């Protein structure tokens, strides 16, 4: 069993921070559903501005609100406007994750979706692990431009 990425929101901007809330991250339910993030699911959050890394659980916010609100202690790790990466993971064997096809959403200003990306994992003709990164149009993504997280 290994741990694999299951869903990712890449570059979503923090819209709020509520230190006095009991904890978690509140994310627009519409965005969660599209990426495949589930209510109360544990996620890792990586702040692109500060480098802070935390783990917490997802609460669904109002659908269509484009919210991304850090709550409780997590509120101390981000400022409104910071870009974060939110990733969920799943334990499984290679063939399990190959069937999953993890989804990634990238964002532009206002937390509007910029790109919809799918990680296609498979065994190539030689039986080796391989992958393709595809955009929402099904076209291959130019991975030479991708750096990090």
Q: Is 57 a catalytic residue?
A: yes
Please indicate if the annotation marks 72 as binding a ligand. yes
Q: Is 24 a catalytic residue?
A: yes
Given the DSSP bridges, would you call strands 83-92 and 2-13 parallel, antiparallel or unpaired?
A: antiparallel
CA distance 142 to 136: 13
Q: Would you give the distance in Å from CA 81 to the centre of its chain?
A: 17
Please indicate if the annotation marks 138 as binding a ligand. no
| Helix, strand counts (H, E) of the chain | 2, 10
Phi and psi of 144, rounded to 5°?
Answer: -65, -20
Catalytic-labelled residue, pool 4, 21, 24, 50: 24
Please indicate if the annotation marks 81 as binding a ligand. no
Please indicate if the annotation marks 73 as binding a ligand. yes
Catalytic-labelled residue, pool 21, 57, 65, 101: 57
The torsion region of residue 117 among left (phi > 0), alpha (psi -120 to 50) and beta comes to: beta
Catalytic site positions: 24, 57
Known binding residues are 56, 72-74
Residue numbers in the known binding site for substrate are: 56, 72-74
């Amino acid at each position: 069993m290994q741990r694999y990425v299951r869903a990712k929101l890449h570059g979503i901007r923090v819209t709020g921070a509520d230190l006095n809330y009991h904890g978690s991250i509140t994310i627009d339910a519409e965005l969660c559903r599209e990426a495949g993030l589930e209510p109360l699911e544990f996620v890792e959050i990586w702040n692109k501005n500060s480098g802070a890394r935390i783990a917490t659980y997802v609460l669904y916010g109002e659908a269509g609100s484009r919210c991304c609100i850090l709550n409780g202690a997590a509120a101390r790790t981000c400022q409104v406007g910071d870009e974060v990466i939110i990733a969920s993971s799943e334990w499984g064997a290679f063939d399990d994750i190959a069937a999953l096809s993890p989804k990634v959403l990238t964002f532009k200003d206002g937390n509007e979706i910029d790109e919809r990306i799918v990680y296609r994992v498979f065994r190539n003709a030689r039986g080796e692990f391989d992958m393709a990164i595809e955009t929402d149009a099904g076209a291959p993504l130019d991975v030479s431009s991708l750096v990090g997280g």
